[in-house]
Amino acid sequence: MEDDVIIGLEIHCQLNKLNSKLFCGCSTKHHGSEPNTHTCPVCLGLPGALPVINKKAVEYAIMVGLALNCGIAEHTQFYRKNYYYPDLPRGFQITQYDYPIAENGMMTVDVDSIERPVRIKRVHMEEDPGRLVHQGSIETSKYVLVDYNRSGMPLIEVVTEPDLRSPKEARRFINKLRNILEYLDVFDGSLEGALRVDANVSLKGGARVEIKNISSYKGVERALLFEISRQRNMKRRGVTVTQETRHYDDERNCTITLRSKEQAEEYRYFPEADLVPLSVKDWENKLKARLPELPEAKRDRFRSQYGISDNHAKVLTAEIRLANYYECVAGKCDPVMAATWVADYLKGELNYRDRDVRDAFEPEKMIFIIDQLKKAIITDKGAVEVIRVLLDEGGEPASIIKSRNLAKVESDITRKAVTEVISENASAVQDLRSGKPQAMNFLVGMVMKKTRGRADPEEVNLLLRELLECTL
């Protein structure tokens, strides 16, 4: 947290779990399709075509509002935001202005174990425009192609108050928002263009700079880091930061001027008369009842139901897919062990590989591994090995244990190894006897090495004490 940094976010999320667009029946499942194949007179803005609101999209937006602790409007209305751009087929975007669907919410953000509230100003609905496709780069392209498949995709825009204090907090906020949307099953953050962020950033007392269209999760943090240091440098040199809109260049990792305040856009908002105002009061109560369990509630339940640690509960519920995975596993084996193996080991191995839980192996395999551990057939080290092999090569845990000789060795083999280690390491034995407990770790390590990790370290420890009649 940096005391003088002020960040506010506007986050556009595609409600891409809907089957049809915001104002027409066109399919939203256009990813990977030929350009302009998911279009109709309405989303192409052909003369005479009229928008009709997708009720399901309104329901989703209300659910988002509720999940972010917002008040839901009694009446909601759409407005036209007028501007010219080739990807905007009507010359105006249908969005919300006065009377957004939800307002005045709150979400906490958690950085370095400090939980801070971030106020949500509003949540509103709008349509996505089409997409410009340049041949080559923007600078060199001789022409531009327009793909209207995205035109009319339902978006919600979440606008925060300027309550964030660091780029890291901003990133955490966005991650948490994404998780909540995925809990609500209204959003799939892995699709291209699913989430786009505009960030407002200023240093206390300075002018506010808006960075537009940051389209990656990591980009948000990087853009803000760049912009803050740019503003700090200006301040240091005594140059005044002017209010302006900047573009974030992902490739070069810098922000560049788009327009200054004097050129501020004039959107001429006014009510969209083709869509009558909606009264959504009754919907709110119905949807409240249908709201799924959200991350914080799930975390509390995991703690009490499975008796797992606060930290484990937090990690496991941060992502709906991980939480579901854990519940699958925890239902069929020791839940505390399951928490360790899913939250620490599996998640760790996935992070290392830059993959997510969707790429993991089936929960049944994890249940099997934990079962083998519990029965003391494999050691922790062996279990980690199985997980790695499963992630990298796939296969069945049982055969991996067998083919890689991961099953724990018999006690007499361990005993034999311990005896050998004792005779081969007289000085370490001497150290131990003379009261240097670190020597024990060395000896256990040697035994583990001799048994290629298949001995149970705890058993080795006991055997060493027994044979050396050590009272440490």
What residue ranges bind another protein (CB under 8 A)? 41, 44-53, 80, 82, 84, 86, 89-92, 144, 146, 266, 268-270, 273-276
Contacts of residues 417-420 at CB distance under 8 Å and 24 or more positions apart, as own/partner, are 417/447, 417/450, 417/451, 417/455, 417/460, 418/447, 418/460, 418/463, 418/464, 418/467, 419/467, 420/450
Find out whether 152 and 21 touch, Cβ atoms under 8 Å: yes
Looking at beta carbons only, is 151 or 414 nearer to another protein? Answer: 151
Say which amino acid occupies 275: L
Find out whether 127 and 154 touch, Cβ atoms under 8 Å: yes
Find out whether 66 and 284 touch, Cβ atoms under 8 Å: yes
Looking at beta carbons only, is 46 or 114 nearer to another protein? Answer: 46
d(CA 430, CA 6): 62
Q: How far is the CB of 206 from another protein (least distance, A)?
A: 25
The candidate with the shortest Cα–Cα distance to 92, out of 315, 227, 266, 313, is: 266
Looking at beta carbons only, is 114 or 144 nearer to another protein? Answer: 144
Q: How far is the CB of 132 from another protein (least distance, A)?
A: 10
Q: How far is the CB of 151 from another protein (least distance, A)?
A: 11
Looking at beta carbons only, is 270 or 352 nearer to another protein? Answer: 270
Question: How close are the terminal C-alpha atoms of the chain, in Å?
Answer: 46
Q: How far is the CB of 193 from another protein (least distance, A)?
A: 22
Q: How far is the CB of 173 from another protein (least distance, A)?
A: 31
Q: How far is the CB of 92 from another protein (least distance, A)?
A: 5
Q: How far is the CB of 142 from another protein (least distance, A)?
A: 10
Looking at beta carbons only, is 112 or 262 nearer to another protein? Answer: 262
d(CA 218, CA 250): 10
Query: Which three-class secondary structure state does DSSP give residue 291?
Result: coil
Q: How far is the CB of 52 from another protein (least distance, A)?
A: 5
Find out whether 150 and 30 touch, Cβ atoms under 8 Å: yes
Find out whether 24 and 40 touch, Cβ atoms under 8 Å: yes
d(CA 102, CA 72): 4
Q: What is the CA radius of gyration of the chain?
A: 29
Q: How far is the CB of 154 from another protein (least distance, A)?
A: 16
Find out whether 113 and 310 touch, Cβ atoms under 8 Å: no
d(CA 303, CA 310): 7
Looking at beta carbons only, is 151 or 372 nearer to another protein? Answer: 151
Q: How far is the CB of 12 from another protein (least distance, A)?
A: 22
Buried/exposed code over 227-257 (b: 16+ C-beta within 10 A; e: otherwise): bbebbbeeeeeeeebeebbbbbeeeeeebee
Q: How far is the CB of 21 from another protein (least distance, A)?
A: 14
Which alpha helices (H) appear in 116-264, and where do they start and end? Answer: 167-183, 217-236
The residues, any chain, with a CB within 8 Å of residue 192's CB and separated by 6 or more, are: 31
Looking at beta carbons only, is 55 or 452 nearer to another protein? Answer: 55
Q: How far is the CB of 46 from another protein (least distance, A)?
A: 7
The structure tokens 């790429």 sit at 359
d(CA 186, CA 184): 5
Find out whether 156 and 177 touch, Cβ atoms under 8 Å: no
Looking at beta carbons only, is 84 or 115 nearer to another protein? Answer: 84
Q: Give the DSSP H or E segment for 439.
A: helix 438-450
82 burial type by CB count under 10 A (0-12 exposed, 13-18 middle, 19+ buried) = middle
Looking at beta carbons only, is 45 or 65 nearer to another protein? Answer: 45
Looking at beta carbons only, is 49 or 407 nearer to another protein? Answer: 49
Looking at beta carbons only, is 146 or 225 nearer to another protein? Answer: 146
Looking at beta carbons only, is 39 or 160 nearer to another protein? Answer: 39
